[in-house]
Structure 1
Amino acid sequence: MSVQHALTDFLENAQSDVSQLATFSEHIPDEWVQSAAALSSQATIRRRRLPNDMVLWLVVGMAFFRNEPIAEVARRLNICADGLADEALLAKSALTQARQRLGKEALKWLFRQCAQRWGAERYPDDNWQGLQVFAIDGALFRTQENTELREHFGSGNTVGPRQTPYPVLRLVTLMNVRSHIIMDADISPYRKGEIPLAQPFIDSLPNNSVTLLDKGFYGANLLMNITLGGSNRHWLLPAKKGVVYRVVDARDSNDKYIEMTVSPQARKKNPDLPATWQVRAVTYEVANKEKTVFTSLPKEQYSAEDVAALYHERWEIELGYRDIKSSMQHNAMTLRSKTVELVYQELWGLLLGYNLVRREASQAAIAHGRAPNEISFKYACQYIASQLRVMSKALSPGNTPKRLQALRGDLSVLFIEKRPRPSRPRAVKISKTRYPVNHKASPLK
């Protein structure tokens, strides 16, 4: 039986057994939800029929039902303080006003409160040679096209007359590589770079850890802060082309120490940086091509082969972005909100929804003696979305995080076998244009 068929059969059986819903565990304490709701941009004394705590769950629910209108999401989750909501209460304008009252800070605070707690949780065999493994990377999301969003977020090629068809925002995250839970995140307009967004994450890194990055994060200030900001904290990233260095230890040409000059720009931002710094350069071969990575991991403890193999785990954060954009957003490239405040709110809710799935998947994996990243995110997300449909008839949206423990035994159908990442040649992306691309155009003859 295929995973998809097993999942379908289980969901059909679950729809007839709502009585077990009361045994679900609590992921998010009620006091966290109330604290987040209290951060709404518009304070109110009276108890509304669409209160902030309910609207908060509506925004999270939007992450699980991307292809459905927001009014339908509200109806499914029964977003109302007084039982079933009427048509006027679920009107598009009423829901938009409720989301505007809530604002973005509530979702942002709740995401970070949960992320810091869940991302630091330990699981069996969740380390690499005694070190926890994290990754930092960025991704782009596009928004609806209007003047307010374009002026705030900007887009590609904004210096010249040509621009991307949609405004674009930048997301940078810190992920626990073994559980795939996002520990921290920040969102900004497109024009802000990844390194400034990642800099505050350094304080969140625990001792005895290694952080994987791509070459876009190459910078002495960021990397040295990782090692100097804690005990036994290390980093690993691919070598950047054109870097000028001096070989310090050349006894092994494929595993050597090099010395580089810290740029004047970096020392201007941080006068405490030294004039030079040393890093370890490990060279290895992949598909008959030489690759080099820089790292702070010392030779005495970590072999070149192990370091080279570890770097390939950086792909796990790319899989996390794929899960968000493909499994949760159903490949819808554009966020649905149309104002700056609600775009931020929607994306924070999307990240919180992603972490809810990942944490439940991690808990289920441990119950079955498996690794957290061995559960199919796609099917786990479908499973939880289906449960939300069923459970909304019996429980209020505020109880949404309490519904999952009793069904963990049935999540065994969601395990997948880990396969090595296929090696494909890099492809040149299509050039940016202000005109939409017609994918249905007839081929030239």
Structure 2
Amino acid sequence: MITRIDLRGRSLSRRDLLEVLPRAEVDVEHAAEVVAPILAAVRERGAAELRDLAERFDGVRPVHLRVPPDVVQAAVGALDPRVRAALEETISRVRRVHAAQVPADFTVDVAPGAQVRQRWIPVRRVGLYVPGGLAVYPSSVIMNVVAAQAAGVGSLVVASPPQKDEGGLPDPVVLATCALLGVDEVYAVGGAQAVAMLAFGAAGTDEVDGETLCEPVDVVTGPGNVYVAAAKRLVRGVVGIDAEAGPTEIAVLADGTADAVHVAADLVSQAEHDPLAAAVLVTPSVELAGAVESKLVDLVGATRHRERVTTALGGPQSAIVLVDDLEAGLEVVNAYGAEHLEVQTVDAAAVAERVTSAGAIFVGAFSPVSLGDYMAGSNHVLPTGGCAHFASGLGVHSFLRAVQVVEYDADALRAVADRIVALADAEGLPAHGEAVQARL
């Protein structure tokens, strides 16, 4: 079901590790060729093209592209009370964590009369994409919306695919979650075409009530399939994006003290997202590896999405990696840079402190990735495909710009004028120095 990669007794460089470790094979460049005409058509034809694409890809032609606000609000009343309570608790916890992320402005007095201030300014308008293919993700609504709201973004729009079974509306729990968060601008638009609508806006009017459709945003965020990732790549520069999110990943660094049932259950939990989902166990314990393999057989046979899970666990992106010791295991997980990394070892907190590349780290036996997916308070929109080596997960910072404000008086400028002129002359840009001298 899941392959083994035995690295014991081998001394591998970072480059060697990157070559042997499992990774999902995703061809974003090919997907970009497929979606480029879609983006162009949406940009040219606007709302009319969005309706045609919904009929083509989603099997339904939405009566409304923009979901009427009263329909969004009404979805709350239809929520299962247990689901509503879970959503409200998640919102509360995610708000608390993201409120703490807001950076402070600062002022530095460089010299008498010379001051530099830094302000954090939110972007004007944000488009948040919520997938709706193999699963629907009200939790992603929370992660995206709360981070943007904590940053102070004034205008938020959510796009999620129309569901054939819902008469062309997005999933009702997604709509209800938008309402709980105070978002009433919601569009029944999915896939690459949603990214195009958010980036370029959609000309035209709604067939039913004549309401003008989506205005362009400044930043597009949210997970999606390879075509959504490709679309985000193509609009980067027109708008900001969070990342080109790929298939989900879990890596577990575990020693012989870990519970094989816990480890196997966590691998299955992420594998149920997608046939391309990656599940990786890194361990020095042959006994644990064998026990996990055995438990996987039982758990996969009993899970609802066993076909999808079997494909993911048996794919080239998943493996059990045997290493000599935890030191070697740390080298492996730092080279891998997983979206989600669990540490289930003796003194797990100390081991976790030595992790340098992971989208999020889950410490100990009682901090499973599923907790972070829903209710830990952290954000579950995280870098995939090794991007954790240089990128962060979604957060307040994703929607803020740092702007420096410079204010010098005449005496402060005079004090550095000669040095500015010297540097300007050294760079062969004398007009820079002359612009200073003109003031003095």
Q: TM-score, normalised by structure 1?
A: 0.25
TM-score w.r.t. the length of structure 2 is 0.25
Query: If you compute each CA radius of gyration, which structure gives the higher value, 1 or 2?
Result: 2
